[in-house]
Structure 1
């Protein structure tokens, strides 16, 4: 997870497709950009979860971004936790490996923890058991 400066909270890695229709390519690019992790493996060819989220208006890189809807696609990935992590200073100020059971304690976005992370963490455990 990364400590996202905009949301002032720990959150899963992510980003925008910016017109790229190859979502797997987008995922790999965002993971590397936000964490420095270059070697990841998709655990499934399927999208793991889809949500439509509201995003409040905010400042990003000195520009105002008005409130909007965000189509959130989640994929399950695997990487070696011994890989070096690095921050992306213009977006995050921390990157850590966080156990599934500890996500709700790390994220300060209460609504996101209750509505999104709890659902996705439960789904991960149902699909992967206690390997996480």
Structure 2
């Protein structure tokens, strides 16, 4: 029996290492992933992006983690700090929401949604200016 934190740590490790085999064990069959620019991928193509050679991580870590648990489901929101490239483009640091479900006593990820953080590394969105500032 794993915990939500265990599942998220396994996700971070499998993502950073581009390990589709391990990632497949923690995603639900009907998983959906949404990238920071709005693309949407079901489980198969999401895993394929880990093994097609187009994704390279030097670093990936989670912080600012907040978890809300509801019986057999949970929402976890974290800052995902990355250094690397996807199809030759720099990977952004994102605010990421994970939807987790408990199945047979194990926490699995049913959905992931990445969103740009204005002003964060790799974001095309500039940091907001203080009100009245230039």
Question: What TM-score do you get using the length of structure 1 for normalisation?
Answer: 0.31
* Rg larger in structure: 2
Q: Which one has the bigger strand percentage?
A: 2
Q: Which one has the bigger helix percentage?
A: 1
Determine which structure has greater relative contact order: mean sequence separation of CA pairs < 8 Å that are 6+ residues apart, divided by chain length.
1
Question: What TM-score do you get using the length of structure 2 for normalisation?
Answer: 0.31
